[in-house]
Amino acid sequence: PGEQLPHDPTKKTLVVLGSGWGATSLLQKLDTTDYNVVVISPRNYFLFTPLLPSVAVGTLSPHSIIQPTRYITRHKDRTVSVIEAAATDVDPIAQTVTFADESEIQGLISSTTLKYDYLVYAVGAETQTFNIPGVKEHACFMKELEDAEKTHTRFLDCLESAAFPGQSEEEKNRLLHMVVVGGGPTGIELSGEIHDYLEEDLRSWYPELSNNIKISLVEALPSVLPMFSKKLIDYTESTFKEANIDILTKTMVKEIKEKSIVVQGPDGVKREVPCGMVVWAAGNTLRKVTKDLIAKLPEHQTNRRGIAVDDHLRMAGTNGTVFALGDCTATSYAPTAQVAAQQGSYLARVFKQIAKRDALVYELQALENAGSLDEEKQKQKADLTKQVEKSDKVKPFKYSHQGSLAYIGSEKAIADLPFSVGNLAVGGVATYLFWRSAYLSRLFSLRNRTLVATDWVKVKLFGRDVSRE
Ligand code: FAD
Ligand code: NAD
């Protein structure tokens, strides 16, 4: 569809779905002169998820941690088409992807279908709700930029409502009870950020409310942060205790109501606890478009956790035409940015090799179509066949774990860092400085680094902004 798309009939069409960690890392390294490249994603930017909880409390401004996808594609050697739309259907047999503009404003055409030669499927995941009643209606999430913005607004709304004249102590306690569900790194980091806000800013902006604040973190498993070492779990728990953040482990959330949360503790008894805000960070589940794609290849795709890929990231059952990476796949790796980014860089190298191979095959076919071959052409054909066979040997993807880092509030972070001699598990203020510098350097552009560093300085000098948008 459309003349605007890059179209060179001698090149194959490579469609990339998504603009997150996997897709962005691929686009950064991809040689776009080899393909007609089309990127389709419902958001036209990359979101640096590790700093998202900081946006939820106003430490960072939303625009500091996003980067328009066109910032990358406009510097490429050959035009890349970026389309703001969501893939609604992928047909792996016909090799087509149907996508729709799902934003508020739409033109006369808002849905169409495109044929691909190769598809990179990197649509990530969405937040798992387990169909628990009230989650979608009453909780905030912590996955997309708008989730963090909504949490920020609601959080400030709770504070202002609690400050309303004549509010009873009981109602103030309810409004200022912040509940975070999920003791994975997202829930832990967010609880730490909320604590910082309350400690560093609320005490000066709303001193009369400072004793009514309570933060609870609810986790179904016996411990938080199962991916970190025991020492760091203990360190996090003691830091939270000092910070007055209640950790309720072995506690399942059963329902969320408008003004309360229903939990079931280790004793099996259900309790209804009043609260002002609930943030739901209970892990990932597949998007509908991914579930539908998996269902189309029942013989090859039997893992309900995600897309099954081989060690070259080729989706099983698609004959090497679809590559899947990141949170939408079921692999032995954790669903992290680190994994998705390394997979994206790996695929950029794979596509360079595929392009070379495709060019050789094209040449070979031209030779074969030319009719009878003289001795020299026969030799050329044998040579080309050998080269094609050689280019078929692509190295498999190998993940290199750089360690796990998480911010836990009170200017402390934890880090599990792998070294050849063993694991180094550290936590504290020095680790927090390391966390800051590590994330600053991992931001994709100088622009984002400058914006994030400036936001940190602004908060240090003037505190967080408490105006509610
Ligand atoms: P994503 O980055 O989620 O990207 C998916 C992309 O697909 C998005 O651009 C989305 O808009 C797009 N998309 C969605 N639907 C469609 C559709 N229908 N069609 C086309 N495109 C679509 N990991 C770490 O390693 N370290 C951390 O510190 C860390 N912190 C995190 C903090 C938070 C708050 C969260 C939520 C996650 C964090 N993670 C972290 C995990 C990390 O963000 C994910 O593992 C990573 O984003 C996965 O990359 P991805 O490319 O698979 O998916
Ligand atoms: P997660 O899956 O790691 O944790 C979710 C937690 O919610 C689980 O421990 C689960 O037991 C709990 N839970 C689920 N349902 C519940 C219920 N009804 N009641 C109470 N508890 C419930 O999710 P996450 O923290 O969003 O992380 C997702 C992925 O992103 C992980 O791979 C994680 O490593 C990665 N991540 C990494 C970092 C970091 O490295 N700093 C930060 C954020 C996310």
Note the pLDDT of residue 219: 98
pLDDT at 7: 78
**What is the C-alpha to C-alpha distance for residues 14 and 348, in angstroms, rounded to an integer?**
12
pLDDT score at 392? 81
**pLDDT (tens digit, 0 to 9) for every residue of the chain, 469 residues total?**
455 676 788 899 999 999 999 999 999 999 999 999 999 999 999 999 999 999 999 999 999 999 999 999 999 989 899 999 999 999 999 999 999 999 999 999 999 999 999 999 999 999 999 999 999 999 999 999 999 999 999 999 999 999 999 999 999 999 999 999 999 999 999 999 999 998 889 888 889 998 999 999 999 999 999 999 999 999 999 999 999 999 999 999 999 999 999 999 999 999 999 999 999 999 999 999 999 999 999 999 999 999 999 999 999 999 999 999 999 999 999 999 999 999 999 999 999 999 999 999 988 988 888 888 788 888 988 999 999 988 888 899 999 999 999 999 999 999 999 988 888 999 999 999 999 999 999 998 999 999 999 999 999 999 998 887 7
Q: How high is the pLDDT of residue 202?
A: 86
Q: How many CA atoms lie within 13 A of 186 on its CB side?
A: 23
What is the whole-number distance in angstroms between the Cα of residue 430 and the centre of ligand 2?
25
Q: What ipTM describes this predicted complex?
A: 0.98
d(CA 439, CA 434): 9
User: CB of 405 closer than 6 A to ligand 2?
Assistant: yes
Task: Tell me how far the alpha carbon of residue 199 lies from the centroid of ligand 1, in angstroms.
Answer: 30
Q: Write the DSSP string, 403-450.
A: -EEEEEETTEEEEEEEETTEEEEEEEHHHHHHHHHHHHHHSSSHHHHH
Hey, what are 292's tokens? 């539908």
Mutate to test the pocket of ligand 1, among 16, 21, 46 (most ligand atoms within 8 A of CB): 21
Is the CB of residue 281 below 6 angstroms from any atom belonging to ligand 2? Answer: yes
Phi, psi dihedral angles at 399 (to 5 degrees): -85, 135
Residue 180 in tokens: 């975070």
Q: Which ligand is nearest to the CA of 264?
A: 2
Ligand 1: does its nearest atom lie under 6 Å from the Cβ of 340? yes
Neighbour tally for 370: CB within 10 Å = 10
Element (H, E) at 285: strand 284-285
* Ligand 2 center to 47 CA (angstroms): 18
- Whether ligand 1 lies within 6 angstroms of the CB of 427 is answered as no
307 DSSP assignment:
B
- The pairing of strands 45-47 and 66-68 is antiparallel
Note whether 88 and 289 are within 8 A (CB): yes
Whether 339 lines ligand 2, by a CB cut-off of 6 Å, is: no
Probe target for ligand 1 pocket from 336, 338, 339, 442, with the most ligand atoms within 8 Å of CB: 336
Q: Is 69 in the pocket of ligand 1 (CB under 6 A)?
A: no
**In Å, what is the CA distance from 145 to each residue of 46, 122, 128, 152?**
10, 18, 17, 11
Pocket test for ligand 1, best of 25, 41, 96 (most atoms within 8 A of CB): 41
Q: What is the C-alpha to C-alpha distance for residues 85 and 123, in angstroms, rounded to an integer?
A: 12
Output the pLDDT for position 4.
63
User: Ligand 2: does its nearest atom lie under 6 Å from the Cβ of 218?
Assistant: yes
Q: Write down the H helix ranges in 198-301.
A: 203-205, 230-242, 288-295
Quote the ligand 2 centre to 247 CA distance (angstroms): 14
Q: What is the pLDDT of residue 368?
A: 86
- Our answer on whether the CB atom of 123 is closer than 6 Å to any ligand 1 atom is yes
Which of 387, 330, 320 shows the shortest CA–CA distance to 350?
A: 320
Residue 351: name the closest of 134, 116, 136 by CA: 116
Taking the CA of residue 254 as reference, the ligand 2 atom at the shortest distance is 18
For the Cβ of 186 lying below 6 angstroms from any atom of ligand 1, the answer is yes
Find out whether the beta carbon of 248 lies less than 6 Å from any atom of ligand 2: no
Alpha helices by DSSP H, listed for 44-141, are 52-56, 69-73, 135-138
Task: Give the closest residue (by CA) to ligand 1 atom 4.
Answer: 20
Q: What pLDDT is attached to residue 373?
A: 79
Q: Is the CB of 125 under 6 A from ligand 2?
A: no
Ligand 1 atom closest to the CA of 340, numbered from 1:
49
Give yes or no for residue 53 CB within 6 A of ligand 1.
Answer: yes
Q: Closest Cα to atom 41, ligand 1: which residue?
A: 336
Which ligand has the minimum distance to the alpha carbon of residue 54? 1
Cβ pair 114, 96 in contact under 8 A: yes
* Atom in ligand 2 nearest the alpha carbon of residue 187: 25
Q: How far is the CA of 280 from the centre of ligand 2 (A)?
A: 10
Q: Is 100 in the pocket of ligand 1 (CB under 6 A)?
A: no
Amino acid residing at 144? E
Q: What does the pLDDT read at residue 68? A: 96
Q: Checking DSSP bridges between strand 111-115 and strand 96-100, what pairing results, if any?
A: antiparallel
